[in-house]
Amino acid sequence: MRPADVLPHRDPFLFVSEIVSVDPGRSATGRWRLTGDEPFFAGHFPGRPTLPGVLMVESLAQVGGIAVLADGRFRDRLPLFGGIDRARFRRQVVPGETLELEVTVGRLSARAGSGHGRAHVGGETACEADLLFVLVDRGAAS
């Protein structure tokens, strides 16, 4: 399964290169391979390209979205951010690295849910956050 088979996101806003595992409605793991060709590296920061923390959190949210959308009950829904709590950035991520993404879904209902995500490189934590989301109809997001 490819990320684009599950998520509605597309380039340039798809931040998951590969789905490693999915337990529908419970958890998912994925990878984001950073080549250095991503356009944000040119401006963040010239001479010292660094992955923006907000994009790390977004990549975690996308992996969480894969866990939710892989559950047949939510296939026609769209998870949208409802909040981000306790986000911590512990390591810079640079071009050429692969960000390993793990999300465990906590509470999950027909209208909303929560999860905890961790992004790491080589076992070293880069980012952790609690994610809150609401579920809307895919056609109602406009």
Please state, in angstroms and as integers, the Cα–Cα distance from residue 59 to each residue in 21, 100, 124, following that order. 15, 10, 17
Residue 44 is a catalytic residue? yes
Instruction: Give the separation between CA 72 and CA 15, rounded to whole angstroms.
Output: 23
Looking at residue 73, what DSSP letter applies? Answer: G
Percentages helix, strand, coil for the chain (3-state, rounded to 5) are: 25, 45, 35
Catalytic residue among 9, 44, 116, 120: 44
- E-assigned strands of the chain? 18-23, 27-33, 77-89, 98-108, 112-121, 124-137
Question: Which residues are known catalytic residues?
Answer: 44
